[in-house]
Amino acid sequence: LEPQSKTLPTTKEKHIHVELGDRSYKIIVSGSEVTNATQAIVRMADQILDVLSDLTHAVILGDEAVASSVSEPLERELSGRKIRVSAAQIPSGETSKSVAELARLWEWMLSAGVDRRSVVIAIGGGVTGDLAGFAAATYARGLRVVQIPTTLLSMVDSSVGGKTGINLPGAKNMVGAFWQPSLVIADSITLNTLPDREYVSGLAEVIKYGVIEDPDFFHWLEVNIQSLICRDSGALREAISRSCESKARVVGDDERETSGRRAILNYGHTFAHAIEATAGYGQLLHGEAVAIGMQMAASLAIALGRADQNLLDRQTRLLVQSNLPIKFPEANVPGMLEIMRRDKKVEYGKLRFVLPTKIGHVELVGNIDESHVVAAIQAHV
Ligand SMILES: NC(=O)c1ccc[n+]([C@@H]2O[C@H](COP(=O)([O-])OP(=O)(O)OC[C@H]3O[C@@H](n4cnc5c(N)ncnc54)[C@H](O)[C@@H]3O)[C@@H](O)[C@H]2O)c1
Ligand SMILES: [Zn+2]
């Protein structure tokens, strides 16, 4: 039986090639203008089989939040094509990135007869991608994995770059591996069920790419932010693909975070991590903390004479239009400093930050006095 989707128009897809030598792979960004949900699943199956033509055993590891909308329909579609499918659900939430959940998956994979030719299909946000990706990286010394991100954050960030892993109590992302996927399918149709707050949170990382290395994209965002907020699928395809291109460029230069180039992705994140750690668990979503953190970083850059007010104004406008928070009234400044001193970017007791000089360019700046950091926080409380 010929897959029916052969007749579907594919011109609206974008393909991004992530160049990593023999670990190179493709990100396919699709939208919903030309497809309904059923057709989108057929298309996903086509895309998977196109890249992994030898697929005989698919191991679907999906966030329970997308079980009925994505994982189960894809399971039926693949089964209908005579592919053996084993499927397991991952409970929603960060606590699933644990040793216990990883062990449960390993044992389940053993009982499901997973072997080296099996292909893991991770379906969900960054939690699922990190956990299932790490399970794939470790089981039988490494299985191929297809990432199907279903949050905006995971589409533009965690599914690109090959970092996988879990948390230890009190130590986020402490155990993991670089494990590149064979294919990433970012279909914005899967975002239909994503709550607004999660969606908006992902926009912070999208805006980040414009500030750190793509001034044209930042300008595009200024023009198209309303369409993006309405989740217009054309705007989404553009935003997702340009964000992935941006991350792929950075990661391609520095796959394993050795040259320092990859650090620019942490723009706003030194502040954001301190905000997240001091705000109390679940108070702020990651992207919300990143939005506030970018504001603090921009103010710090201005105070150091490295950037002008116009940069902060443009960034502020875009964040506000996106409905992202730009202030952190509950800031516990000593607590934040304490966390920042322990940040990986600290060198010999002096703080280091990724700071913009203009829209589209950031630099890693060391030797920064704490008084400037305090002032930058206080500018956004
Ligand atoms: N590997 C990397 O390079 C990298 C980069 C950035 C972040 N991360 C990790 O990603 C994680 C955060 O990812 P996230 O923001 O996607 O969080 P998440 O995976 O927890 O998803 C957010 C919430 O949305 C739900 N959800 C997911 N898709 C949905 C959908 N389509 N419809 C309805 N609900 C849906 C989830 O169940 C969860 O409740 C963190 O653990 C972070 O460490 C990893
Ligand atoms: Zn982030």
Token output for 233: 């699928």
Assign 315 a pLDDT band (cuts: 50, 70, 90).
Answer: very high
Per-residue pLDDT at 293 exceeds 70: yes
User: Given the CA of residue 286, which atom of ligand 1 is nearest to it?
Assistant: 15
Instruction: Return the closest-CA partner of residue 312 out of 376, 262, 248.
Output: 376
Mean pLDDT computed over 296-323: 98
Of the candidates 291, 297, 293, which has an alpha carbon nearest to the alpha carbon of residue 318?
291
Q: What's the DSSP call for residue 70? A: I
Q: Angle at the Cα of 143 (from 164 to 109), degrees rounded to 5?
A: 95
Q: Note whether 136 and 122 are within 8 A (CB).
A: yes
Distance of alpha carbon 65 from alpha carbon 119, whole angstroms = 22
Identify the sign of the CA torsion 136, 142, 143, 148.
positive
Q: What are φ and ψ of residue 286, in 5° steps?
A: -55, -50
pLDDT score, position 348: 63
Q: Is the pLDDT of residue 7 over 60?
A: no
Q: CB under 8 Å to 380, separation ≥6 — which residues?
A: 292, 295, 296, 299, 326, 327, 328, 331
**How far separated are the first and last CA of the chain, in Å rounded?**
61
Share of the chain above pLDDT 70, in %: 95
SS3 state at 60: strand
What's the pLDDT band for 256 if we cut at 50, 70, 90? Answer: confident
Using a 6 Å CB cutoff, which residues line ligand 1?
A: 63, 65-66, 92-94, 97, 124-128, 130, 150-151, 153-154, 157-158, 161, 163, 173, 190-191, 193-194, 198, 286
Local structure of 146: helix, strand or coil: strand
pLDDT in tens, 68-95: 999 999 999 999 999 999 999 999 999 9
Separation of CA 129 and ligand 2 centre (Å): 14
Dihedral sign for Cα atoms in the order 369, 370, 372, 373: positive
Mean pLDDT over all residues of the chain?
93
Beta-ladder partners of 363? 355
Task: Give the Å distance between the CA of 154 and the centre of ligand 1.
Answer: 6
Mean pLDDT of 3-16: 63
Please give the Cα distance from 310 to 293 (Å, whole number). 17
- For residue 221, the tally of other CB atoms under 10 A from its CB is 25
Neighbours of 281 (CB within 10 A): 8
Judged against a pLDDT cut of 90, whether residue 257 lies above it is answered with: no
Q: Which ligand is nearest to the CA of 128?
A: 1
Lowest mean pLDDT among 1-10, 75-84, 231-240: 1-10
pTM over 0.85: yes
Asked if 330 contacts 244 with a C-beta cutoff of 8 angstroms, the reply is no
Query: Which residues touch 313 (CB under 8 Å, ≥6 apart)?
Result: none
**Of 237, 273, 314, 352, catalytic:** 273
CA distance 34 to 13: 10
Most ligand 1 atoms within 8 A of CB, residue of 44, 90, 96, 130 to mutate = 130
286 vs 280: which has the higher pLDDT: 286
